[in-house]
Amino acid sequence: MTDKTKSTNKMWGGRFEMSPAELMVRINASIGFDKALAPQDIRGSKAHAAMLAEAGIISKSDAREIARGLDQVGAEIAAGTFTFSDALEDIHMNIENRLAELIGPAAGRLHTARSRNDQVALDFRMFVRDALDAFDDGLAELQKALAEQALAHAAVVMPGFTHLQPAQPVTFGHHMLAYVEMFGRDRARFADARRRMNECPLGAAALAGTSFPIDRHMTAEALGFDRPTANSLDSVADRDFALETLAAATISAAHLSRLSEEIVIWMTPQFGFVRLPDKWTTGSSIMPQKRNPDAAELCRAKVGRIAGAFQGLTMVMKGLPLAYSKDMQEDKEQTFDALANYHVALAAMAGMIADLEPVPERLAAAAGSGFATATDLADWLVRTLKMPFREAHHATGAIVKMAEKRGVGLEDLSLADMQKVEKRITNDVFTVLSVASSVKSRTSYGGTAPQNVQKMAKSWLKRLEKGRKAV
């Protein structure tokens, strides 16, 4: 066998006589993206080495050398001086190879009682867990910005829409609080996913566990897990923790997209409901008058990438028999991309909401359009004249039709005009036809009355200030 035909792969070269084809190296290598797992890989390896020493499987001096060497590798990666090699396939072997260069034979003891299968399952799980913690912080910041807007504009009236048609008046603060609730549920979903995934797969080895007397509870505790995973096959074979996180991120990204869409609409000259400062908008290369809400538009688009990653990983996993298959190398790149894009969209939205300026006069003018107090009129007929609601609905519809034909608002009709439809109507009806009186009357729990909005905004800000989970 010549030097050219000998396998140079340090991981499995003893079984093979020839090196892999160049294209095989390219398709097999994951270092281009899984180097993002370096911090998690080093943390996991240090915990594993400490456990091996405690169990008497390796010497304490070797464990100390391994920890020292791993710290140096981590420093090199952080400084950007580490050389990554495609020939070593992945982040795990790149780190182990450099560790051997730094500390010699002791590095070879690190992989005792573990496999790359449980190693990558651990690293990936910790990476996703770290992302979930960052998401919770980001969502809390966004909720705080929304709640502060709600408190500041609790009495600013605006149109509430159904079918994007004026429906009933609400307040700007109430509208902001709707998203506080949505993002609160997103936080709950992420928190639930974190609780479920917080089990440590390290020690499952390739798929069957190990004959070495390891202490899996020790490594689980050292790495912040609640417990070790209970089945070695499941430990290395499943990625439902990533799927669940992507599913929750997709739902949350849809909420971000809906809020983004409203900002885009509200910033049009036709609406003019809000303003954004220069730092969240862009201009045009040809039209000097333009102020484009590009940050909101980009946030709106991110849900496509995130939902696509969820679907993509589902397709990777759906047909795999137990335990590990190389298909699962495709789990990380799309997940990394999706989680990074969700995080940047979350931060951008928190910044936009904090800097958003509502335009009260435009909001108020729109709130009174489209006969938005028609429901208040119908309710008055039921409450004052004791009419069945269906009859009140019919009578109100006739009065709206009359106002529409004349091109006036309901409050601009005369008492005599309304009495042509229902003779028992009195002057008292005009007390419910203004936008201000409409929103003020909606005092039911969860309603848009300014006093409700102020109370709920303060409650949310208090919870967020205390750092309590929105679950």
Single-letter code of the amino acid located at 3 = D
Assess whether 394 carries a catalytic annotation.
no
153 is catalytic: no
**Whole-angstrom distance, CA of residue 365 vs CA of residue 463:** 34
- C-beta separation of 203 from 228 below 8 A: yes
Of residues 59, 61, 85, 284, which has the active-site annotation? Answer: 284
SS3 letters for the chain?
A: CCCCCCCCCCCCHHHCCCCCCHHHHHHHCCHHHHHHHHHHHHHHHHHHHHHHHHCCCCCHHHHHHHHHHHHHHHHHHHHCCCCCCHHHCCHHHHHHHHHHHHHHHHHHHCCCCCCHHHHHHHHHHHHHHHHHHHHHHHHHHHHHHHHHHHHHCCCCEEEEEECCEEEEEEEHHHHHHHHHHHHHHHHHHHHHHHHHHCEECCCCCCCCCCCCCCCHHHHHHHCCCCEECCCHHHHHHCCHHHHHHHHHHHHHHHHHHHHHHHHHHHCCCCCCCEECCHHHCECCCCCCCCCECHHHHHHHHHHHHHHHHHHHHHHHHCCCCCCCCHHHHHHHHHHHHHHHHHHHHHHHHHHHHHHCEECHHHHHHHHCCCCCCHHHHHHHHHHHHCCCHHHHHHHHHHHHHHHHHHCCCHHHCCHHHHHCCCCCCCHHHHHCCCHHHHHHHCCCCCCCCHHHHHHHHHHHHHHHHHCCCCC
Task: Tell me the sheet residues that pair with 357.
Answer: 275
- In angstroms, the CA 103 to CA 98 distance is 9
Longest Cα–Cα distance in the chain: 108
Residue with the two structure tokens 């009709």: 413
Hey, which residues are catalytic here?
A: 163, 284
